[in-house]
A and B are shown apart, each in its own frame.
Chain A
Amino acid sequence: MWSFALARLAGVLGLAVLLGLIFGQLWLWLLGLSCLYAAWQLIDLYRLDRWLSTRPKTDPPDMGGVWGGVVAQIVRLNRRKRFHKQRVLSLLRELRRSTAALPDGVIILSRHREIHWFNPPAGRLLGLKRGLDIGLRIDNLIRNPEFVKYLHGERFAGPLVIRPPKPGECYLSIQAVPYGAGQILMLVRDVTRQMQIEAMRKDFVANASHELRTPLTVISGYLDTLAEDPGVDPAWAGPIHDMRSQTQRMTLIIGDLLELSRLESTEGEAVRDPVDTGALLARLHRDALARGDRPAQVELSIESADGLFGSARDIESAFTNVLVNALKYTPATGSVHMRWWSDAGGAYFSVADTGIGIPEEHLPRITERFYRVDPGRSREQGGSGLGLAIVKHALQLHGGQLDVHSVEGKGSTFTCEFPLVRVWRRPERAVAEAAAQSAPRAKSA
């Protein structure tokens, strides 16, 4: 193409030279034919420009030579661009359609918590209006105080369950996921059904345990009488003893179940009564020392005068269960060490034992109900399998958590951690007084 164009230029110049040689005035001929050539090129350029400015309505102009090549290139580029554009568009449309078809609500929030985009289910679940609400701050529309607190929190730990703005029996689970430069992707799900099932389960457990308690009391009452009745055949002594110990175990399990369902049904956070943990632990320590089957060493060190703000009953329940657990799984020659201390981050109660320990793979699951590391051994110990679940729930109500370290065969350390807001700061002077008061009492006991 280019060689053809060059040949054509050469041909024009050659013709000019030829005509100049024949008719004389060579320069004039050269100038004239060059001008003609330039005009011809200009006309082509003009047609190209016209076509480009009216594209894509008309067909490309039919041009030969270099300009024809350029036109073909432009057409090819256009076709490729249109193809890519179509592909991106259809991809975008597909994406829009699929997010719109999601059964869960999706909302995109800007850095300032303004609504950027939402799909129809989100609009339906939260009562957002398509035209009006884009650009509005979401906490102006969803005004539930828990939601507002969750939205302005620094980290979005787990999903939050709220009652939606519209009145009625309905629950929504909301999960915020931060992405990009502070934007938030918010997922909204209708969890009414799950919440109803959960409520039914809790009610069932509470009612069933409550109903079982009365017949059990009657049975254990008769068994106690039978055990002491001299008229009963001595051959029955063994079975009666077994039956008594099993009814005792069942009473224990039902007691724990009731305690757990009480903790579960407590809404929101625990109350904020001042609790003197030092005195509480001293009492638990005395009780532990009074047990017949305890390990050789049971120690208590109280390193802080601080107490807790919370429910005395729940805290005692949690501490007792952690302690009893340690006592149960530590051999008679081992030791159990209780420790209470506080620092700038909160307050802590830990129980370290030299017992059998827990294999690492079981650690994440030990706070589940009825989860047993070694089923045979635990039943022998007579536990209900609910102790650590009670601890976990009691701590959760206080905003705290349970931390477990364990080495199999060497021992375990259970630490109850309480956040700063729950710590009742007391000056050191009070601890000295408390110690002075508790010392003579310990002696007399």
Chain B
Amino acid sequence: METADLTHHISRRFNEDLEKVRSQVLQMGGFVEQQLQKAITALVEGDGRLGEAVATEDYKVNGMEVSIDEECSRILATRSPAAGDLRVIVAIIKTITDLERIGDEGEKIGMIASRLASMERPPDKYRSVKHLGRLVGQMVHDALDAFARMDAQSALRTVRDDKAVDEEYESIQRQCMTFMMEDPRSITRVMEIMWVVRAMERIGDHAKNICEYIIYMVHGTDVRHTSLEDVALQLASAQNNRR
């Protein structure tokens, strides 16, 4: 419904600019997503070269962030957008910061993966880390899908998924501590794994932030630092107002 709004401008160029910058954000998101998948694969399969490749490719994400940022400033300066359009631009500027951070966390995982590749592998072959990785990967994917579709409802669902990620993170952390107590020789390796799961948990938080910006972009309500029940209520009332 909101995408239709983007076509209502008198100036066709403005529409095109907005659509273009939105697409750029999603392409940046696609690249970050791929980086994350590769980093997790590198870790789980012990592929050190892939991990290094992920770490060295991160500069591309930074480049995309800078160019989108410039484009947004240009639109703000030349078109002075209002209401919905202004919210879109503001949400984009915030989203790319979080995407860039996700890229950084991916780089970190890739680097650790390349270090871990030469170490002994644990008996569970990083199964729980893989599971957590899949969860956060899905979260990032859903957040970007919601961004593409301007779908506040699925954004809200994705915000809820962050709880599962946090729980999984805590359980892996506890597991790691047991490992270290059982076998002090494994401490170096387990510490690295702790960094990885920490990075994944952060990625989940960034995906959650992106979803909150989507809700703001679509409905104009700020849902940061609000409990989920309140958010659901606010969304429902916003939708009633619309009707």
- By the criterion CB–CB under 8 Å, are A143 and B3 in contact? no
Q: How far is the CA of A163 from the CA of B38 in the complex (A)?
A: 11
A148-B149 contact, Cβ under 8 Å, with A143-B33, A143-B144: no
- By the criterion CB–CB under 8 Å, are A143 and B149 in contact? no
Whether, in the assembled complex, A73 has its beta carbon less than 8 Å from a beta carbon of chain B, the answer is no
Contacts of B144 in A (CB 8 A): 143
Q: How far is the CA of A132 from the CA of B154 in the complex (A)?
A: 12
Q: Which of the 9-residue segments A62-70, A86-94, A134-142, A374-382 touches chain B?
A: A134-142
CB distance from B208 to the nearest CB of A (A): 18
Whether, in the assembled complex, B145 has its beta carbon less than 8 Å from a beta carbon of chain A, the answer is yes
Majority SS at the chain B contact face: helix
A148-B151 contact, Cβ under 8 Å, with A137-B23, A167-B137: no
Q: How far is the CA of A139 from the CA of B20 in the complex (A)?
A: 12
Give 1 or 0 for each of A310-341: 1 = CB within 8 Å of chain B CB. Answer: 00000000000000000000000000000000
- By the criterion CB–CB under 8 Å, are A136 and B149 in contact? yes
Within 8 A of A (CB), among B155-171: none
Q: How far is the CA of A137 from the CA of B52 in the complex (A)?
A: 33
Q: How far is the CA of A143 from the CA of B25 in the complex (A)?
A: 10
What residue of chain B has the Cβ atom nearest to residue A144's Cβ? B30
Which of A's residues lie within 8 Å of B, judged by CB? 127, 129, 132-133, 135-137, 139-141, 143-145, 148, 163, 165-167
Whether, in the assembled complex, B198 has its beta carbon less than 8 Å from a beta carbon of chain A, the answer is no
Cβ 8 A contact of A141, one of B3, B37, B138, B145: B145
Contacts of B148 in A (CB 8 A): 136, 140-141
- By the criterion CB–CB under 8 Å, are B149 and A133 in contact? yes
Q: How far is the CA of A137 from the CA of B19 in the complex (A)?
A: 10
Whether, in the assembled complex, B34 has its beta carbon less than 8 Å from a beta carbon of chain A, the answer is yes
Q: How far is the CA of A129 from the CA of B3 in the complex (A)?
A: 16
**19 cross-chain CB contacts under 8 A:** A132-B149, A133-B149, A135-B3, A136-B149, A137-B19, A137-B23, A140-B23, A140-B148, A141-B148, A141-B149, A143-B30, A143-B33, A145-B34, A148-B27, A148-B30, A166-B141, A167-B37, A167-B137, A167-B141
What residue of chain B has the Cβ atom nearest to residue A268's Cβ? B53
- By the criterion CB–CB under 8 Å, are A132 and B151 in contact? yes
Whether, in the assembled complex, B134 has its beta carbon less than 8 Å from a beta carbon of chain A, the answer is yes
Give 1 or 0 for each of B18-40: 1 = CB within 8 Å of chain A CB. Answer: 01001100110111011001000
CB distance from A313 to the nearest CB of B (A): 16
Contacts of A140 in B (CB 8 A): 22-23, 26, 148
Q: How far is the CA of A163 from the CA of B34 in the complex (A)?
A: 10
A129-B30 contact, Cβ under 8 Å, with A136-B3, A167-B134, A167-B137: no
